[in-house]
Amino acid sequence: MCVTFHVDVIHLFFLRSRERPSRPVSESDPEVAERLAVGSTETLANGNKADLQAAKRLAKRLYNLDGFKKSDVARHLSKNNDFSHMVAEEYLSYFNFSEMMVDRALRVFLREFALMGETQERERVLSHFSKRYLQSNPNTILNEDSVHTLTCALMLLNTDLHGHACTFFNCYSPLEKSWYLI
């Protein structure tokens, strides 16, 4: 079976090497606990020191949509800092993808929130999904890169099939273009 990959899927693998690492911060920030108290919708998007308990609280609230809409979730999972990575890990811990095929697990995952944002932000969320999928299926023959590649390809194909206004990566139909990697 021949699967066609769009050049943008391959481009995603080079994004990680070009991203800037999050800034280091001081050991304590007295405002951190207040800003992430129950009822707060603010996250530490500016890269403040990651706090595991705050990440767990926020992840639980995101999963239960406690004070959040589905359109808010991806924004909290997609930032490139330690706190958002912890929130994403904790959020994905609520999902059990055991014995599911990748496409079914992806459907279950994306049913819970709207995957929105720039390509790099979406790629980060899908990368977190890939890690969790492998944690749930340790005996699979796939590795994280394989799951991630397949996930991005499924997103492209689904968007081309159903997204008539804009595609996953930009506003044209990728399968109508002649530049593919086969």
User: Which residues on neighbouring strands pair with residue 181, listed in sequence order?
Assistant: 5
pLDDT per residue as tens, the chain (182 positions): 333 333 343 333 333 333 333 333 333 333 444 454 444 545 444 445 558 999 999 999 999 999 999 999 999 999 999 999 999 999 999 999 999 999 999 999 999 999 998 989 999 999 999 999 999 999 888 888 999 999 999 988 888 887 765 544 554 445 554 444 43
Into how many domains does the chain fold?
A: 1
Catalytic-role residue among 31, 89, 90, 118: 118
The two structure tokens encoding residue 77: 């999972």
∠ CA 9-10-16, rounded to 5° = 95
Could you give the CA distance from residue 36 to residue 29 in angstroms, rounded to a whole number?
A: 12
Q: Is 38 helix (H, G, I), strand (E, B) or coil?
A: coil
- Backbone dihedral region of 20: left (phi > 0), alpha (psi from -120 to 50 degrees) or beta? beta
In the Cβ-directed half-sphere of 110, how many Cα atoms lie within 13 Å? 17
Number of helices (H), then strands (E), in the chain: 9, 2
Q: pTM for this one?
A: 0.64
Active site residue 27: no
State which residues form the domain around 111. 5-181
